């Protein structure tokens, strides 16, 4: 399996200058870089692609950043902004060699409150319509989308694999699947291997992260169970480490990282990569 590193561990926002990390990523043993891209205008995709190629790395996935003004269930202006942003990411992905856009595409991160059943149903119908449109837009360029359930503190709309699968099935488009993250799963799922089995062939992408947002393998997560579930379901996507530290202040605040979880971010990347490879 392809093992990758999400750039949020080292930079936010990601720009051309942050390709300086590529040589180190390769030296640590990564096959791939998952670029978390706050704004398509922040990079020259042709330049970034040349740097990926120069260091023998791939960029199979782009991670969306759904800030408050980008919300597929929000105000008309928020919906319009979210659609333009997601399409902007899809437009530059072929240049980077990326084929999958991942993240909580359905809503702004941090929008979490108790909605009435009728309001939530109406919001889901709005999101379904937008995702059908975006999946069709993506498929026209041989691209796919994967929606990520988040924990209850970051969204009220899609917290579990079952909820995510229900949304995917409601959209009913082959270019849309699930993106799971072991950190969120640790909070919301009864069983992480069970959730992977439930997702089955709809699982397009997996973020691997320690239960405390630190290094995978230095935590209580059932990694052997996860590996077994991935193998038994025939998963062929990437395994991407998405951990956060206080080194990147914007992400530390957004992800509520108030303390040093691991000695250094470099150790998270290096040791995490070695551990994930050891599982397979």
**pLDDT tens digit string along 210-230?**
999 989 999 999 999 999 999
Mean pLDDT of 53-69: 98
DSSP symbols for 193-254: HHHHHHHGGGEEEEEE--TTSS-TTSSS--HHHHHHHHHHHT--S-EEE----TTSHHHHHH
Q: How confident is the model at residue 243 (pLDDT cuts 50, 70, 90)?
A: confident
**pLDDT tens digit string along 162-208?**
999 999 999 999 999 999 999 999 999 999 999 999 999 999 999 99
Assigned fold of 3-279? TIM Barrel (3.20.20)
Q: What is the pLDDT of residue 69?
A: 98
Q: How confident is the model at residue 40 (pLDDT cuts 50, 70, 90)?
A: very high
Mean pLDDT of 154-166: 98
pTM of the model: 0.95
Q: What is the pLDDT of residue 263?
A: 84
Mean pLDDT of 248-258: 74
**Every domain of the chain and the residues it spans:** 3-279
Q: State yes or no: pLDDT of 54 exceeds 90.
A: yes
Q: What is the pLDDT of residue 251?
A: 74
Q: What is the pLDDT of residue 93?
A: 98
Q: Which residues contact 138 (CB under 8 A, 6 or more apart)?
A: 90, 101, 144, 145, 175
Please report, for residues 11, 22, 109, 180, 268, the alpha-carbon distance to residue 245 in angstroms, rounded to integers and kept in the order given: 11, 19, 18, 21, 9
Q: What is the pLDDT of residue 279?
A: 92
Q: Which candidate, 155, 149, 43, 56, places its Cα nearest to that of 93?
A: 43
Q: What is the pLDDT of residue 261?
A: 82
Q: What is the pLDDT of residue 98?
A: 98
């Amino acid at each position: 399996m392809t093992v990758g590193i999400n750039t949020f561990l080292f930079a936010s926002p990601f720009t051309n200058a942050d390709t300086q990390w590529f040589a180190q990523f390769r030296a640590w043993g990564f096959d791939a870089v998952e670029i978390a891209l706050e704004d398509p205008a922040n990079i020259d995709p042709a330049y970034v692609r040349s740097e990926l190629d120069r260091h023998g790395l791939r960029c199979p996935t782009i991670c969306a950043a759904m800030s408050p003004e980008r919300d597929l269930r929000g105000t008309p202006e928020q919906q319009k902004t979210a659609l333009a942003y997601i399409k902007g990411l899809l437009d530059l992905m072929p240049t980077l060699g990326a084929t999958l856009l991942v993240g909580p595409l359905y809503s702004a991160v941090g929008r979490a409150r108790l909605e009435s059943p009728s309001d939530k149903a109406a919001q889901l119908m709005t999101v379904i319509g937008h995702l059908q449109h975006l999946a069709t837009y993506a498929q026209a360029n041989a691209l796919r989308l994967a929606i990520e359930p988040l924990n209850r503190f970051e969204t009220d709309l899609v917290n579990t694999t079952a909820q995510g699968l229900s949304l995917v099935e409601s959209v009913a488009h082959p270019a849309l699947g699930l993106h799971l993250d072991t950190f969120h799963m640790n909070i919301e799922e009864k069983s992480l291997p069970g959730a992977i089995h439930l997702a089955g062939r709809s699982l397009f992408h997996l973020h691997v992260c320690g239960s405390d947002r630190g290094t995978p393998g230095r935590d209580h997560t059932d990694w052997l169970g996860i590996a077994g579930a991935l193998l038994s379901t025939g998963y062929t996507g990437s395994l991407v480490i998405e951990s956060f530290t206080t080194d990147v202040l914007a992400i530390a605040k957004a992800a509520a990282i108030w303390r040093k979880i691991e000695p250094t971010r470099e150790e998270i990347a290096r040791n995490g990569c070695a551990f994930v490879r050891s599982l397979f």
